[in-house]
Amino acid sequence: MSSSKNSRFEVFEEKIKELQLSEEEQAAFRKAKSQLQNHTRLGALAGLFVGGYVSKVRKFTIGTSIAISIGSIAIGSQIGFFTGAAAGIRTVKSLPNSQRIFEIVREVQNFKKFPSRKGREVEHEDNNKPSTFPDEFSSDNQDFNDSDEGQQSSWTNLRSPSAPSQDDNNGSSWDKVRAQNSGSSTWDKIRQNNKNKRRL
C-alpha cells in the first residue's frame, strides 16, 4: 500500500509542477505532505507500543505477541494516514486559491482508478478482429472434417444391418421369459389340488 501512496504522490507532484504555484502554495503543499507522512509514522509507532503493551499485560506467547504487534502497526498507520490527510486538507484549505489543488487531487484519483482505459479499448478492438489463418491450415481442417464425416457414415452403414437382428433377439428372449411366467402359478396349482380333494 505504501508503494501505491508513493506513486500517487509522484503523479501529484508532477501535476503540481505544471501549475506554476506561488511560494505560499508550494510551502503549503510541502507542509501537507510532511503532515501526512508524520501522522502515518506516529500512528504506526503508537500501534506498535499499544500492541506490545497489551501482549505484555496479557502475557501472550511470542508468536501471538508478534501477530498482535503487526496488526497494531497496520491499524495505527491507517489511523495516522487519515488524520494526516485531514490535517493536510486543512492546510491546503487555508490557501486563498485552494480549489485548484483539490481539482488536481481529484484528477490524480481518477487517473489511479482508470490507468489503462485506452489500452483496454485497444485490446478489446484487437479481440474483435477476425483471426486469419494460412490457407494450408484451413485446407487441413477441411480434410479432417471430410474424413470424420466418412468415418461416421461407414460406421452407420456397418451398424444398421445388425440393429434389427439384435432387436429381434431381444424380443424373442423377452417372449420366452413372458411365456415361462405366464404359465400356471403356485396359487393355481393349490386351487387345483383343493378341487381334486373335494371331488374325492
Q: What is the pLDDT of residues 176-190, one digit of tens each?
A: 666 666 555 677 778
pLDDT at residue 196 tops 90: no
Better pLDDT: 99 or 145: 99
For residue 200, pLDDT over 70 is answered with no
Distance CA 145, CA 130 (A): 21
* Mean pLDDT of all residues in 70-74: 92
Q: What is the average pLDDT score of the chain?
A: 71
Look at residue 33 and tell me if it is in a domain: yes
Higher-confidence position of 169 and 108: 108
Query: In terms of residue numbers, what domain contains 35?
Result: 2-14+23-114
For the chain, what is the domain count?
1
Contact between 53 and 67 under an 8 Å Cβ cutoff? The reply is no
Q: Which three cell numbers stand for residue 48?
A: 506498535
Domain contains 140:
no
- Domain contains 109: yes
Is residue 53, in this structure, part of any structural domain at all? yes
If one compares 10 and 119, the residue with the highest pLDDT of the two is 10
**Residue 144, in any domain of the structure:** no
Q: Determine, yes or no, domain membership for 89.
A: yes
List phi, psi (to 5°) of 132.
-110, 125
pLDDT band at 38 (very low <50, low <70, confident <90, very high): very high
- b/e map of 100-121 (b: 16 or more CB within 10 Å)? ebeebeeebeeeeeeeeeeeee
pLDDT confidence tier of residue 47, bands split at 50, 70 and 90: very high
Q: Higher-confidence residue: 31 or 2?
A: 31
Predicted pLDDT at 79: 93
Residue 54 lies in a domain: yes
Instruction: Report the pLDDT value the prediction gives residue 92, as an integer from 0 to 100.
Output: 81
Tell me which residue of 6, 16, 3 sits closest to 105, measured CA to CA: 16
pTM for the whole thing? 0.46
* Closest C-alpha to 33, from 8, 59, 69: 8
Q: How many Cβ atoms from other residues are within 10 Å of residue 34's Cβ?
A: 14
Q: How far apart are CA 70 and CA 49, in angstroms?
A: 11
Sign (positive/negative) of CA torsion 48, 49, 50, 54? Answer: positive
Tell whether 32 is covered by a domain: yes
